[in-house]
């Protein structure tokens, strides 16, 4: 089922998610991740959040294919995709600045999670791909977060060319990553420097900045729920189920 590890030191709150299937995110793990982010946002001892994943070469492979194949009705489909919607909306509404640490590939929903971070750093191995169309769905739920970060044109490129990875440098040029490093050690040093500065900053100023950054997304609770329903319908089709089985194989 994967796991969530939480560690707080000197105001820096690290949330690490991991799953043996390339850090994919099944429903229960998504719910636990959203809860961990919400709790951190309410904790006065937390000044800044670092969102990270386990392992070295994959940040997040997106949705769990095993769980997708098992969906048999629209309600279950909507509930599953609402897991990604809840994580994105929780990150959006969290009053603390969230730093993304992307050490490897981000696929599908993983691109959405990286996009919902307020400031994201990556290594050269952190290529990205929105693979949803290739399995008969589409990046409907994560699309708003990705588009907000890199714009409609770049999001369209990713969504349409669903089988090709774009490099970490491409993602940096489009605005998803603030900087790209040769090694994880260099990235971690930069994160440490940044978080030390943020811990010493005015918490209320950072809270208000976060509100300003996300202005205009207040309707996302409804929007992402609608998008989850669309994906929940598409995943039921024979086309999608066959595509997922082929993709998984």
Both tokens of 5, joined, read 């590890």
Backbone angles phi and psi of 100, in degrees to 5? -95, 130
CB 124 within 8 A of CB 102: no
Q: Which parts of the chain are beta strand (E)?
A: 3-9, 12-18, 48-53, 58-60, 98-102, 105-107, 119-123, 128-129, 179-181
pLDDT digits (tens, 9 = 90+) for 78-92: 999 999 999 999 999
Cβ-based neighbour number of residue 198 at 10 Å = 18
At residue 69, the pLDDT reads 85
Strands 179-181 and 119-123, sheet pairing: parallel
Q: Strand, coil or helix: what is 171? A: helix
Over residues 9-24, the pLDDT tens digits come to: 999 999 999 999 999 9
Kindly tell me if the per-residue pLDDT of 247 is higher than 80.
no
Residue 58 sits at φ, ψ, to 5 deg, of: -130, 120
Give the pLDDT band of residue 215 (cuts 50, 70, 90).
very high
pLDDT at 248 over 80: no
DSSP 197-218: HHHTS-HHHHHHHHHHHTTT-T
Output the CA torsion 19→25→28→30 (10° steps): 120
Q: What domains, with CATH codes, occur in the chain?
A: 3-185 (3.90.226.10)
Helix H or strand E segment including 191: helix 184-199
Biggest CA-to-CA distance, the chain: 54
pLDDT score of 243: 87
């Amino acid at each position: 089922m994967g796991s969530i590890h939480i560690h707080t030191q000197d105001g820096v709150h690290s949330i690490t998610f991991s799953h043996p299937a390339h850090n994919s995110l099944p429903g229960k793990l998504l719910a636990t991740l959203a809860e961990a982010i919400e709790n951190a946002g309410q904790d006065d001892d937390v000044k800044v959040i670092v969102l990270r994943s386990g392992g070295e070469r994959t940040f997040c492979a997106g949705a769990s294919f095993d769980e997708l194949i098992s969906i048999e009705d629209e309600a279950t489909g909507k509930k599953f995709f609402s897991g990604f919607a809840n994580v994105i909306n929780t990150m959006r509404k969290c009053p603390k600045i969230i730093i993304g640490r992307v050490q490897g590939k981000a696929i599908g929903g993983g691109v959405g999670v990286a996009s919902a971070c307020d400031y994201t750093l990556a290594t050269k191995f952190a290529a990205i791909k929105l693979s949803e169309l290739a399995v008969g769905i589409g990046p409907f739920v994560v699309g708003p977060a990705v588009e907000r970060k890199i714009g409609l044109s770049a999001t369209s490129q990713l969504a349409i060319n669903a089988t090709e990875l774009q490099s970490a440098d491409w993602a940096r040029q489009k605005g998803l990553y603030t900087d790209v490093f040769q090694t994880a050690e260099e990235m971690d040093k930069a994160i440490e420097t940044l978080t030390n500065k943020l811990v010493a900053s005015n918490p209320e100023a950072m809270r208000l900045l976060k509100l300003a950054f996300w202005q205009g997304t207040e309707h996302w609770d409804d929007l992402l729920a609608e998008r989850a329903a669309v994906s929940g319908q598409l995943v039921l089709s024979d086309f999608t189920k066959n595509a997922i089985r082929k993709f998984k194989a």
